Structure 1
Amino acid sequence: MGKIKISFLFFLAHFLVLLLFSTTYAFAQANQDSLHYYYQAILNPKMPTDLPNAISFYNKKKKLDLSNNDTLNAIRDLRMIAIAQNKIGDLFETESSIVEALQLIKTSKHGNTWVQSAIGLYNQLGNTYRTSKNYGEAINAFNQALELVELTRDSITILNNIGNVYKDQHQFKNAELQYKSALKLVGVTSDSIQLAMVLDNLGYIQAKQEDPQALKSLNRALSLRERINYREGLYSSYRNLSEYYMDRNETSMALQYANQAYEVAKSLNSATYLKDALTRTMLLSEHANVRELGRLSDSLDLAKQLEENKNAFRKYNLEEERKRGDALKLQQEQEKRQRQLFQVISLGAILLLIASYFVYRYRYKKGRLEEIYKTESRISKKVHDEVANDVYQVMTKLQNASTAQEEWLDDLDIIYSKTRDISKELSALDVQDDYVELLGDLLLSYNSEQVNVLTRDISEINWDTISNHRKTAIYRVLQELMTNMKKHSKATVTTLSFGNKGNKIIIEYSDNGVGAALKKHNGLQNAENRISSISGSLTFKSQLNKGFKATIIA
């Protein structure tokens, strides 16, 4: 039973693989068949719908190839589209398709590997401009192709096409130079088709210049084409020979070659060739009316071509105007977006500034409150440590009747002095008048039998130029340092030197106390905060038993 199940599963898998392969193959084959069909529809159209349908097919294929990043096939698609558009007579669209293909080559990473495609496109563009009688652009396009050519065969084709442009303008000398340059290169390749093409064109302009070599060139070209039965070439040879004899009023010979050209046109089933051959036959008719009809037909064809060129030019201008309008609209939209972005950024910046102001204000108020709290705590501790204990001691003495009244009075005087000092330390400063005296009194108040306080150059500073805010900060910082010295350093000598550096005041503090391992307590931290508030700095330097130093820059 197990073997049967395995065999069935194997068979089913094998069947599915075959089905998938056959479906994929059938799909690929169908695509290949369609590609061949529409390729032939462009090269040899038989129905009026062949060219439009082929253009639609290759447009869809181009989009698919571009979505698959298959640039090479997309370029080939555009070349086929351009050929079909040219045959329909839509020269503007032909030019657009060729330019699009060239742009794909220029923007591709592998553009240098597609030189042959670029040569073919420039050559095709030159022929399109020639058809629309835009001769200057045609020459430019052919010259661009000529700059890229690597193969002799390509050079021959392009030189021949440049000669054709000059031939259309009746600049026969210039045309002859191009054809003879091509003829020299043909000798290297021994290509019968190209040799016949150049000889036929050379014979035509030689005939227009009454060159006796003209008929020899035309007949040699015809002989080469008859040998290989190149029918499109044969049509050109018969047509040019007909015109050669018509220009010389040899009507019977001219008509003979015109009829041969007509027979070739019928075999090619080319409407363009048939119309041209019939027009030439009418021009050779014995009836004046028929000849006039032929000339009129040529004139109408030329007028129609010129009008189509004007329409294409107008269409081009309208397209360019639309592109400019789209570009202007895009630019306006971009400018609008930039303005909106600028407005959003500006609004954001304003909101940020407002928010920053309130944050700063909040932090400032919070800092002030913290400073007030620290100050209140310090006052409370100072009153408790220095006043409350002394008051308690006096109260104890009052309870002891043996204590003399004079001793109470002395104790009360000490308490009063301490209270006055605390008040003086924490009260608002009047720094407007005689700041040197105020600062000197502060420093000398710490002078005692145990501590000698020395100041240097304090009066050399021009204190009148210093703001009240800075003077208050300097005063309080020095007050903190002196209090720190009195409480902790056990110093006997303290020195303060004053000086200037630019618009900054520099104060060097040093004492010979016991020093300390640097650890900022509330007093020194408050001093740093104060000096920072005026964009100054306070640095300390101290070691155990080596004194204490500080530098104030305010």
Structure 2
Amino acid sequence: MNSQKIANSSFYKNRYLYSFTGTDIFYFWRMIPKRIQFTLYIILIFIVFFSCQNPKKNTAKITNDKAKIEKTIHAADLFYKNKKFDSAFYFYNKARTKCNPNKDAKSYVYCMYYMSEIQQNHEDFIGSTITAKETIPYLNKIKDPNQVWNIYSVLGRNYYYTYDYPTAIYYYSKAFVLKVDRINTLEAKNNIAAIYLDQGKYNKALKIFLSISKEKLVLQNPIYYSKILDYIGICYLKLKNSKALTFFKKSIQINSATKHEEGLGKTYYNLAEYHHNNKALSMMYAKLSYKNHTLSGNTNDRLLALKFIIENTVSPSEIKENALLYIKENHRIYAFRQKAKNQFAKMKYDSKREKDENLKLKAQKIKNELQLEKQESKNIISYIIIILASCLIVFVYYYLTARNNRQKIEATYQSETRISKKLHDELANDIYHTLAFVENRNLSAEENRNYLLKKLDDIYSRTSDLSKKNIPTLSNQNFTISLKEMISGFSTSKINLLINGLDEISWDQLDEMKKVSVYRIIQELLVNMKKHSDATLVAISLQKGNNTIIINYTDNGKGIDSNKMVHKNGLHNIENRIRAIKGEVEIGSDFGKGFKVLIKFPA
């Protein structure tokens, strides 16, 4: 049955396609009202006119956009320099949404790098990784290899902080194939050695740190040099070599001279661990570490030093005091970072949503501009093709519309003819005989009245049957099939329909009215979904409880504001049908959160 319908449909489509002749075009062009013909002529004149315009007028706009991006980046840099990271993130994000990464990859990657740095500093390592990886498709457009290395460095640190050491080493190692500054290569070696240190490969890490300590660039940078000395001291400490103390002391001297509080805090902590057998000396260094980390604002290492103090304190009152301080600080830091993560994620989401709304228009506009720049000499030919295609579409539209109207008129005529013949052949004679019976019989007799009522009832029943000829039957045998066919008719490439439990209900036990109500209610819900909701996923679940049938409808469309919900025709019809079969209906929806309907009625 279905295959026959499909075959017939294909036949008519092909017939429309191949019976389209030049005579038909001329005929239907004459059928178009002269007012519409004039409008088409005006449109064609404007298209030809604008095709001759010089596209260079867009150059000023492009230059202006570039200036706005640079101004926004400059504002972001100032906020970043002043450690106002939330404002810096906002302006970097604003600038990157205005960038076209295919044309201005440098600005785009620059903004994304600092955004990922800010997320990393707030320990949003997953968010930072996602941001940094968005730049990878455009790194081959960057001429400065140091800028490319910045992205790899951020990714390496993210994977290091999340203990994915092999991937971290992979991104750090990319510095060795890039022609970057020597300091970036040394930083990569330093980071790889730090991973070996965490992995317990102390000799391997020590070898790299010792080689870095001899570099001229490192010796000229006191802060960096003290950091390397500290790492060398840690390696010796782990190897239980007394040389560790020499390197720690030298690092202390350099950091004290430069007043580098963060470096002092790290080295004092290492000395506290080194002197773990001397409780008094160990606690002194731990407290110095805590003090310097507090001054430098390094919260993570400050908490680490406080934890060391708690673990090595003997006095119960001091332990309690420090433990409460640790819990309070840890909670404050967690809350602050969580708030920052959510804030940065929301900024990116809002800008992405705004960008997506205009993406299609901008993409088409950019594509047209590129075509104008590259194929200026072919503009006239291109517009002629467009004009011809537009005319062809108009002609085809009117041709198909006219043919469809003719078919509708023909179908209406055939239907009216059939109904007229049915009325004449089946009802006219019966009505005539009934009239004759009324004229010739005494209706006061009960037998004659009963006969007349029986004849009228029969005529009414046959008239009712005739009016329902075009209504699909929902008998026990074909109800499930009809319902499935109706539901599947709403499934498209953009709408995924899921139905569950349809075959598990014994429909033959329901009366005809309930089956018709179920059919029409589901049809009404799907029609409303297709018209209004923009849903991509629809789920319909049917199940039978204790003498009750439950229908649960859910879609992921845009929904309706429950406070402003107005029960218009569709919802009103559903409620009326449910009440007619003594059922209940619950409609739940919030704007942007989909649409849900729960229906219950007695089986």
TM-score (normalised: structure 2): 0.40
Q: Which of structures 1 and 2 has the larger relative contact order (alpha carbons within 8 angstroms, sep 6+)?
A: 2
Q: Flag the structure with larger Rg.
A: 1
